[in-house]
Chains A and B, each alone.
Chain A
Amino acid sequence: GNSVTQMEGPVTLSEEAFLTINCTYTATGYPSLFWYVQYPGEGLQLLLKATKADDKGSNKGFEATYRKETTSFHLEKGSVQVSDSAVYFCALSTNTGFQKLVFGTGTRLLVSP
């Protein structure tokens, strides 16, 4: 079946450090890939997405590249801020008639000043 594996957290960084959160997936066909972010006490918001191999999604300084050969979609940011502290979820969709996202377990990021 389809699944997403994320690195376990929490990831603890100082402000302006480089961030990588690993995500790998298993899927039949050609899924779309997503990163969602959940700030404290809130629901999930779409951060970025990529719909085909070699696509790069980007938003708010975050980037992730759809790597079919390694089945990965790692999230990166060159310089994190305290306001980036949140839980990050990697997800995939197998593009059925409607969205049925499969999520990873989430990775908590803590950024200290």
Chain B
Amino acid sequence: SQTIHQWPATLVQPVGSPLSLECTVEGTSNPNLYWYRQAAGRGLQLLFYSVGIGQISSEVPQNLSASRPQDRQFILSSKKLLLSDSGFYLCAWTSPNLLHFGNGTRLTVT
């Protein structure tokens, strides 16, 4: 069966520090992968999606970037975190008609 792993579960980082969140999917090949963010009091916002290795599409301009170095690995990064980057980050992948989420990473920028 397919599973999605996301880590770390929680992270506290100072403003201006770098960020790297990793997501891996098992049990499937060539999945479509997504990064969503859930900010306090707001809904889920799609940040990036990827349909294949090295293929990244950005949905909103921001301080973050994404990379897909391997078929089932999706990384969310920042060179310098801002306070506004705090939130709950969710990785997801799709089977033909459904979106499956990881357990998320809660990021607090102080």
Contact = CB atoms under 8 A, between A and B. Distances in A.
Interface string B67-102: 000000000000000000000001000100111111
Interface residues of B, number: 23
Contacts of A99: 32, 34, 94, 97-99
A105 interface: yes
Shortest 6 CB-CB contacts between residues of A and residues of B: A43-B101, A105-B43, A103-B44, A44-B101, A43-B103, A98-B32
5 contacts: A36-B101, A46-B99, A89-B44, A99-B32, A106-B43
Interface residues of A, number: 21
B41 interface: yes
Contacts of A105: 41-43
Given A98-B49, A99-B32, A100-B49, A45 B42 contact: no
A94 B32 CA distance: 16
Given A89-B44, A100-B49, A42 B103 contact: yes
B43 A104 contact: yes
Contacts of B101: 36, 43-45
Nearest to B45: A103
A44 B43 contact: no
Given A43-B101, A46-B98, 8 more contacts: A41-B103, A43-B102, A89-B43, A99-B32, A100-B46, A101-B44, A105-B42, A106-B43
Interface string A67-106: 0000000000000000000000101000000111101111
